[in-house]
């Protein structure tokens, strides 16, 4: 495969910015990266690359994640996420690049609305947990973007920022495993994507370290503002590009 250096440099910029956002806020890699990557990669290539990078960095940080959040309450979410992921992958086989960018951009704006709303913590019954999990799964398989429903769930249930961030990391790691298995089953994994992944992973790790450092310095004072600013602009850009 002959790499276009401009395209490769663009992928590096997208990956490092999205990984800083993910490490700083606990979510947002796919939200920021997939709409941008889909401007010059096929939708299936963008989502596979995004999911592979998220899974890799999550596995690297798994011990730090598990220290802040219990696994048992997440089981209902993950069970429904499995079902939703299968449905989302099937939807991905039918959608065009234009509709993909439009849907991805709208998903980003939904996440922005969730952040602005700042819902207070409240108990969530099993039925609503299932709804959050199913919705996250559909967005996971369809867009590699389970973040918006998981974000809303975390904001509703976790008053502590570190626990919210850890819950997001853990759920996104599980979602990445599910969606990659699904993509592999339908033949989306290619030699070219593996090459892109190997070239982007060191940049992902660098961005993760920078994002964690920024979180330690600024924490809750800045993370919502940073996420809103970046995600809003990415969402608008993806929506506008879908009409071109």
The mean of the pLDDT values for the chain is 79
Which range, of 47-51, 112-116, 167-171, averages the lowest pLDDT? 112-116
State the pLDDT at residue 43: 78
Contact 203, 60 (CB under 8 A): no
CA of 147: how far to CAs of 9, 60, 173, in Å?
Answer: 26, 20, 11
Which range, of 22-26, 46-50, 118-122, 228-232, averages the lowest pLDDT? 118-122
Residue 41 has what DSSP assignment?
Answer: S
Give me the mean pLDDT over the 53-78 stretch: 77
State the pLDDT at residue 68: 65
Give me the mean pLDDT over the 47-72 stretch: 81
* Per-residue pLDDT tens digits for 136-160: 888 777 777 777 777 777 777 777 7
Residue 13 half-sphere exposure toward CB, CA atoms < 13 A: 7
Highest mean pLDDT among 82-91, 134-143, 189-198, 230-239: 189-198
State the pLDDT at residue 209: 93
State the pLDDT at residue 126: 61
Question: Above pLDDT 70, what percent of the chain?
Answer: 86
* Per-residue pLDDT tens digits for 167-218: 777 877 887 887 788 788 878 888 888 888 999 999 999 999 999 898 888 8
Kindly report the length of the chain: 244
Domain coordinates in residue numbering, the chain? 5-242
State the pLDDT at residue 119: 56
Burial classification of residue 71, based on how many CB atoms lie within 10 Å of its CB (0-12 exposed, 13-18 middle, 19 or more buried) = exposed
């Amino acid at each position: 495969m002959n790499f276009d250096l401009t395209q490769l440099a663009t992928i590096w910029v997208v990956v490092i910015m999205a990984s800083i956002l993910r490490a700083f806020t606990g979510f947002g890699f796919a939200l920021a990266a997939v709409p941008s990557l889909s401007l010059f990669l096929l939708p299936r290539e963008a989502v596979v690359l995004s999911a592979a990078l998220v899974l890799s960095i999550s596995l690297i940080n798994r011990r730090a994640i598990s220290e802040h959040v219990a696994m048992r309450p997440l089981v209902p979410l993950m069970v429904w996420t499995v079902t939703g992921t299968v449905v989302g992958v099937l939807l991905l086989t039918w959608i065009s690049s234009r509709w993909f960018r439009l849907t991805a951009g709208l998903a980003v704006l939904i996440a922005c609305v969730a952040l602005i709303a700042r819902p207070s913590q409240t108990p969530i019954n099993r039925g609503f947990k299932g709804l959050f999990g199913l919705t996250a799964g559909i967005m996971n398989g369809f867009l590699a973007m389970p973040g918006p429903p998981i974000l809303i769930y975390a904001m509703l249930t976790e008053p502590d920022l570190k626990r919210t961030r850890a819950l997001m990391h853990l759920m996104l790691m599980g979602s990445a495993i599910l969606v990659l298995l699904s993509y592999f089953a339908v033949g989306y994994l290619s030699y070219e994507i593996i090459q892109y992944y190997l070239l982007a992973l060191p940049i992902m790790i660098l961005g993760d370290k920078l994002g964690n450092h920024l979180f330690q310095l600024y924490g809750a004072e800045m993370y919502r503002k940073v996420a809103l600013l970046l995600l809003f602009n990415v969402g608008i850009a993806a929506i506008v590009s879908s009409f071109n």
